[in-house]
Amino acid sequence: MPSLKRILVTGGAGFLGSHICERMVDEGHDVICLDNLFTSQKQNITHLLTRPNFEFIRHDVTRDIWLEVDEIYNMACPASPVHYQYNPIKTMKVSVMGAINVLGMAKRTRAKVLQASTSEVYGDPDVHPQPESYRGNVNPIGIRACYDEGKRAAETLFFDYHRSNGVNIRVVRIFNTYGPRMHPFDGRVVSNFIIQALKGEDITLYGDGSQTRSFCYVDDLVEGIIRMMNGPDSFIGPVNIGNPGEFTIKQLAELVIKMTKSKSKLVKLPLPKDDPTQRQPDITLAKKHLKWEPTIALEQGLVKTIDYFSKLDLRQFRKPTDHTAHKSSNR
């Protein structure tokens, strides 16, 4: 029986954060979910609100907060390109000031703190697949930079607090993850394609669909993150967590159409600027140090995700931003 801990999950009402909260509540820990609900809604955590060991605080992570905790999962940050480009300056603030705030809290309370970093630190990679030693190819002045550079700066802060103040850190670089509790209007490729296919609308391929991504099912991802948090202090990362199964975006579209038996057609829209052409995690380190690798293949994970979206009452969800990329879900 593991000892009971006080755990803070920033961004805990979001897609990944809500799954981490649920796992921690089920294990009996005392869980604080901190979120300003920018890109999520309370629906993701309503089932936890009645649990005595769960608490929700509506708060912006860029603002100071004092809490006494043993562990922090720092998940707060808009993650979909549509959301993080909506207010790019705020995105950079969330990454940098959010990191400073949780690191300060960790320093004061001697908590262990895990940063949700991203494959975006590799930018549009010219090394394939991407190992953690690859330093990346990020355009520092492009439209994705607010997120990519924000997350890179957050990694820097984590390592400097570790070296300068002895803060016990963990850094995970998350690759594209999908599954139940993604916001239906977050504009990411899996949620977009499934909703479009279920409604019989055109499937919006950006560019010719030859760009690749490697998709990890949420349960696998959460298991990897928790193993990293609970792993030895000698392995602080950064570590890639993702599924090496690589697909073109066109292949994903065709698979979703087949699995939903949809009559949707593919339409081509302009490729957003700086959209990475390829992405695949090298997970050698995660296998070695965490004994972790994904177990759920794309088609299996899509079955569960399609089932989730097909039962969702979309009228209960508002579009978090009026970004033009939401046009496809406005039709």
Q: Which residues bind ligand UDP (CB under 6 A)?
A: 80-81, 176, 188-189, 192, 204-206, 211, 213, 249, 272, 275, 328
Interface segment toward ligand NAD; rule CB under 6 A; list 123-131, 174-182, 252-260, 322-330: 174-182
Token pair in block for residue 151: 């997350």
Residue 129, preceding peptide bond in cis (omega within 30° of 0): yes
Q: Are 305 and 258 in contact (CB under 8 A)?
A: no
Contact residue for ligand NAD among 130, 177, 262, 264 (CB under 6 A): 177
Distance CA 245, CA 24 (A): 28
The site partner of 272 among ligand UDP, ligand NAD, none (C-beta below 5 to 8 Å per kind) is ligand UDP
Q: Is position 147 annotated as part of the catalytic site?
A: yes
List the Cα angle 155/295/176 in 5-degree steps.
40
Task: Scan for tokens 């690191």, then name that residue.
Answer: 103
Buried-state track 90-116, b at ≥16 Cβ within 10 A, e below 16: bbbbbbbbbbbbbbbbbbebebbbbbb
Active-site position among 147, 161, 178, 217 = 147
Distance CA 209, CA 264 (A): 16
Task: Scan for tokens 């202090």, then name that residue.
Answer: 233
Interface segment toward ligand NAD; rule CB under 6 A; list 10-18, 135-143, 222-230, 252-260: 10-18
Total chain residues near ligand NAD (CB under 6 A): 28
Q: Are 20 and 12 in contact (CB under 8 A)?
A: yes
Task: Scan for tokens 């609100």, then name that residue.
Answer: 49
- CB contact set of 157 (below 8 Å; sequence gap of 6+): 96, 99, 100, 103
Q: Residue 44 Cβ, how far from ligand NAD at the closest point, in Å?
A: 8
Q: Contacts with ligand NAD in 25-84 (CB under 6 A)?
A: 35-40, 60-62, 75-79
Q: Which is nearer to ligand NAD, 12 or 264 (CB)?
A: 12
Count the neighbouring beta carbons within 10 Å of the beta carbon of residue 238.
20
For the window 115-144, what string marks contact with ligand NAD as x by the rule CB under 6 A? -x-x--------------------------
Interface segment toward ligand NAD; rule CB under 6 A; list 6-14, 20-28, 137-145, 291-299: 6-14
The site partner of 118 among ligand NAD, ligand UDP, none (C-beta below 5 to 8 Å per kind) is ligand NAD
Distance CA 95, CA 148 (A): 10
Q: Which is nearer to ligand NAD, 113 or 264 (CB)?
A: 113
Interaction between residue 292 and ligand NAD (CB under 6 A): no
The site partner of 21 among ligand NAD, ligand UDP, none (C-beta below 5 to 8 Å per kind) is none
Q: Residue 90 Cβ, how far from ligand NAD at the closest point, in Å?
A: 7
Interaction between residue 16 and ligand NAD (CB under 6 A): yes
Give the CB-nearest residue to ligand NAD: 14
Q: Which is nearer to ligand UDP, 244 or 272 (CB)?
A: 272
Distance CA 28, CA 50 (A): 14
Task: Scan for tokens 């699995």, then name that residue.
Answer: 259
Kindly report the backbone phi and psi dihedral angles of residue 110, in degrees, each rounded to the nearest multiple of 5, phi listed first: 60, 35
| Site residues (vs ligand NAD, CB under 6 A) | 10-11, 13-17, 35-40, 60-62, 75-79, 94, 116, 118, 174, 176-177, 183
The residues annotated as belonging to the active site are 147
